[in-house]
Amino acid sequence: MAEENYIKITESMYSLQHFTIPKHYEEAVESVILPHGLIMNRIERMARDIHECFNDESLKILCILKGGYQFCNDLTHYIKALNRGSGKSIQLGIDFLRVKSYKNDQSSGEVNIIGGDDLTHLKDKNVLIVEDIVDTGRTMERLLKTLEKYQPKSVKVAALLIKDHNRGTGYKPDYIGFQVPDKFIVGYALDYNEFYRDLNHICVISESGKKKYSIS
Ligand code: HPA
Ligand code: MG
């Protein structure tokens, strides 16, 4: 049987008491789903997989803000290390796009692409979209459609996380870190109404956290 090329997390198995959690989030998270060290180890391997897929060409990284900033930073860190430590080097360019679709723990159904640079220089380039989480796939499908008009040579997507439900479009990124259960998760730059980006593990939000940081 072919093994999936990502890690499937089926339950939230780590108790908060086994890790360090900032005091301001102790009551606001339920459990740790992905400890920071495991996230880093997996990203190191994703960087190798990506590095192997390209020859000595340039690669335009498109970081999807805000949630993707941490993953993008760590992923490029490891790709740069491979550029120094192996015979092959891939020149990286980095651009940023801001996308927003969530209010509280619900997708608003519409995807807002807010700002970002002029992307006309992506024409004939290899592009790697770097995103924290692909949930229903709608944001990514819309984004891929938007990028088509800049006529890149190729477009690949690296997502740290996908959800295990099938409420979505069926879209699967090219590179995936982990599949996680269908729970609202926060930390490692994933937010709930802009909170929790400063938590380094990925955690399941608690009911009291949802209440404390909800907006109307
Ligand atoms: N957490 C944070 N942001 C998200 C999630 C989630 O579970 N799903 C989609 N965007
Ligand atoms: Mg995101």
Q: Write the pLDDT tens digit of every residue in 79-132.
A: 999 999 888 999 999 999 998 776 778 876 666 677 667 889 999 999 999 999
Q: Say yes or no: CB of residue 135 within 6 Å of ligand 1.
A: yes
Strands 185-186 and 202-205: antiparallel
Examine residue 165 and state whether it is found in any structural domain, yes or no: yes
CA atoms within a 13 Å half-sphere pointing along the CA-CB vector of 99: 27
Q: From ligand 2's centre to the CA of 180, what distance in Å?
A: 15
How many structural domains does the chain have? 1
Q: In what order do the strands lie in the sheet with 91-103?
A: 7-8, 175-180, 154-163, 126-134, 58-65, 91-103, 106-114
Q: From ligand 2's centre to the CA of 88, what distance in Å?
A: 31
Residue 203: nearest ligand to its CA? 1
Whole domain around residue 42: which residue ranges? 37-183
Examine residue 188 and state whether it is found in any structural domain, yes or no: no
Q: Say yes or no: CB of residue 133 within 6 Å of ligand 1.
A: yes
Three-state SS at 65: strand
Examine residue 170 and state whether it is found in any structural domain, yes or no: yes
Closest CA to 102 of 33, 196, 206, 6: 196
In single-letter form, the type of residue at position 213 comes to Y
Examine residue 136 and state whether it is found in any structural domain, yes or no: yes
Atom of ligand 1 nearest to the CA of 192: 2
pLDDT for 12-50, tens place per residue? 889 999 999 999 999 999 999 999 999 999 999 999 999
Examine residue 151 and state whether it is found in any structural domain, yes or no: yes
Q: Are the C-beta atoms of 107 and 101 separated by less than 8 Å?
A: yes
Q: How far apart are CA 18 and CA 11, in angstroms?
A: 16
Examine residue 5 and state whether it is found in any structural domain, yes or no: no
The pTM for the full model equals 0.93
Examine residue 168 and state whether it is found in any structural domain, yes or no: yes
Examine residue 27 and state whether it is found in any structural domain, yes or no: no
Strands 91-103 and 126-134: unpaired
**CATH number of the domain bearing residue 106:** 3.40.50.2020
